[in-house]
Amino acid sequence: MTKRQSASKTESFTVSAVLPASPERLYKAWLSTRQHTAMTGGKATIVAKVGGKHTAWDGYIEGVTLELDPNRRIVQTWRSAEFPSGAEDSRLELLLDPVEGGTKITLKHSHLPAGQGASYKQGWWDNYFDPMRAYFSRRK
């Protein structure tokens, strides 16, 4: 299979939520081993620099940070234990925009293996947005 054929068999989506925290707090929490673990409930390890590796949810997710624009944007590779053998890493772009009541976080998740997009889209709500909303609501 050529690279072009492989790329045509991937899925992408965008999801957004408003969370009760500043862009600075969200940015720092996403890139902090301690806070990422606390806000999701799953163990995370994060080396907070471009080229740094990250894991989340007790090793279920792993990747590398590709780009950092402090308090505005994070780009990472992202791969779960459910990716088929040989599948490329997906790409996760987080955008943080200040809005009334907190921050609009937008996740652009691309290059997911075909057939897995809907599950991961729901997973962002269940495993990130909802727990993050609760975490930041308790820590205003």
- Identify the band that residue 128 occupies on the pLDDT scale cut at 50, 70 and 90: very high
| Residues facing 112 on adjacent strands | 11
All structural domains of the chain, each given as residue ranges with its CATH number in brackets, are 10-138 (3.30.530.20)
Over the stretch 60-112, which tens digit does the pLDDT of each residue have? 999 999 999 999 999 999 999 999 988 999 999 999 999 999 999 999 999 99
Over the stretch 2-57, which tens digit does the pLDDT of each residue have? 343 444 589 999 999 999 999 999 999 999 999 999 999 999 999 999 999 999 99
Q: What is the pTM of this model?
A: 0.89
Beta-carbon contacts of residue 19 (< 8 Å; ≥ 6 apart)? 26, 102, 103, 105, 129, 132, 133, 136
Q: What is the pLDDT of residue 9?
A: 86
Over the stretch 102-114, which tens digit does the pLDDT of each residue have? 999 999 999 999 9
Query: Which H or E run includes 4?
Result: helix 3-8
